[in-house]
Amino acid sequence: MGKKSQKYNVLMVCVGNICRSPIAEAVMRDVISREGLQKEWHVESAAIEGWHSGCLPDERALKVLARHNITYHNCARIVNSDDFFKFDYIFAMDRSNLAALKRIAPSYSTAKMFLLGDFGLKPDERIIEDPYYDLGEKPFEKIYQQCIVACESFLKQARQKEIF
């Protein structure tokens, strides 16, 4: 199928790293695990802003993940310049996140940056909206569902192109 020894690194990014990107990270890990590709892929998440650095994700995000039998224990961290070289793929949750990433990326960055929603989602659903100020878990469930589709689609496309 291609090179099996190389490990590919994925970074999920949103504003604070407590809602969308932890869900995306957890979902991508779950998708990778179900495909038996844990040795080929590594996934993390990070924030554009450092407001929540060191904090666990929003309780609503953790509840949605738990309802889908996914545990998550990582804490929020901010994107740093090394991330643009460590990670092969950096996925933003919305256009503002993507613009911020492109602004802070070193000019010689090796990471490929995309909107996560560009993979498998319908055009009007590609933006993974920030649910932080919304009430309840419903917006977090929507994010989970969007991430399932996008992560499965990305991994399928990556495998078809035999990048590993």
Out of 14, 19, 147, 151, the active site residue is: 14
Q: Where are the domains of the chain?
A: 8-160
103 noted as active-site residue: no
Provide the CA 72 distance to its chain's centre, in angstroms.
Answer: 13
Cα–Cα distance for residue pair 43/154, rounded to 1 Å: 13
Q: What fold is seen in the domain 8-160?
A: Rossmann fold (3.40.50)
First to last CA, the chain: 8
67 noted as active-site residue: no
Out of 83, 88, 130, 151, the active site residue is: 130
Structure tokens at 84: 């643009």
55 noted as active-site residue: no
pLDDT tens readout for residues 21-76: 999 999 999 999 999 999 999 999 999 999 999 999 999 999 999 999 999 999 99
What percent of the chain has pLDDT above 70? 95
Does the model's pTM come out above 0.75? yes
